[in-house]
Amino acid sequence: MRTSLEVADVFRAAGPAYRTAHAGRLSLHQLKVMSAIEHCRTAALGGHVEACTDCGHWRIAYNSCRNRHCPKCQGAAAQTWLAAREADLLPVGYFHVVFTLPAEISAIAFHNKALIYDLLFKTASETMLTIAADPRHLGARIGITAVLHTWGSAMTHHPHIHMIVPGGGLSPDGERWISSRPAFLLPVRVLGALFRRLFLTRLLALHDTGKLAFFGQLKPLADRRAFLRHLSPVRKKRWVVYAKPPFAGPEAVLAYLSRYTHRVAISNSRLLRFDEGGVTFRYKDYRRTGADRQQVMTLSADEFIRRFLLHCLPRGFHRIRHYGLLAGSTRKARLERARQLLAVAPPAVDEAPVEPPDPHPPCPCCGGRMVVIETFQRCHPPRGPPSAAAPSGHPAP
**230-263: pLDDT as tens digits:** 999 999 999 989 988 777 666 777 777 777 777 8
Given this model, what pLDDT does residue 391 score?
41
User: How would you write 202-214 as a 3-class SS string?
Assistant: HHHHHHHCCCCCC
> How far from 80 is each of 86, 261, 334, CA to CA, in Å?
10, 11, 23
Contact 332, 56 (CB under 8 A): no
Average pLDDT for residues 129-153, to the nearest whole number? 94
Which residues share a beta bridge with 34? Answer: none
What is d(CA 394, CA 306) in angstroms, rounded to the nearest whole number? 46
Phi, psi (deg, nearest 5) at residue 198: -65, -45
**Domains of the chain: which residue ranges?**
7-69+360-376, 88-265+314-342
Contact 338, 90 (CB under 8 A): yes
If pLDDT is split at 50, 70 and 90, which confidence band does 380 have?
low
Average pLDDT for residues 32-38, to the nearest whole number? 95
Lowest mean pLDDT among 25-29, 60-64, 304-308: 60-64
The yes-or-no verdict on residue 396 having pLDDT over 60 is no
Average pLDDT for residues 288-309, to the nearest whole number? 91
Supply the pTM of this predicted model.
0.85
Question: Which parts of the chain are beta strand (E)?
Answer: 47-52, 58-62, 94-100, 143-151, 157-166, 168-170, 177-179, 241-244, 271-275, 278-284, 294-299, 320-324, 370-376
If pLDDT is split at 50, 70 and 90, which confidence band does 309 have?
very high
What is d(CA 361, CA 369) in angstroms, rounded to the nearest whole number? 8
- If one compares 353 and 97, the residue with the highest pLDDT of the two is 97
If pLDDT is split at 50, 70 and 90, which confidence band does 397 have?
very low
Given this model, what pLDDT does residue 353 score?
47
Given this model, what pLDDT does residue 52 score?
87
Say what percent of the chain tops pLDDT 90.
57
> How far from 388 is each of 89, 259, 373, 394, CA to CA, in Å?
51, 44, 13, 11
For the stretch 102-119, pLDDT in tens is: 999 999 999 999 999 999
The yes-or-no verdict on residue 228 having pLDDT over 90 is yes
Which residues share a beta bridge with 144? Answer: 323
For the stretch 165-223, pLDDT in tens is: 999 999 999 999 999 988 889 999 999 999 999 999 999 999 999 999 999 999 999 99
Average pLDDT, rounded, for the chain:
86
What is d(CA 210, CA 355) in angstroms, rounded to the nearest whole number? 54
Lowest mean pLDDT among 2-16, 108-122, 123-137, 152-166: 2-16
If pLDDT is split at 50, 70 and 90, which confidence band does 384 have?
low
**Count of other CB atoms within 10 angstroms of residue 378:** 12
For the stretch 323-364, pLDDT in tens is: 999 998 888 899 999 999 998 766 655 544 444 555 667 888
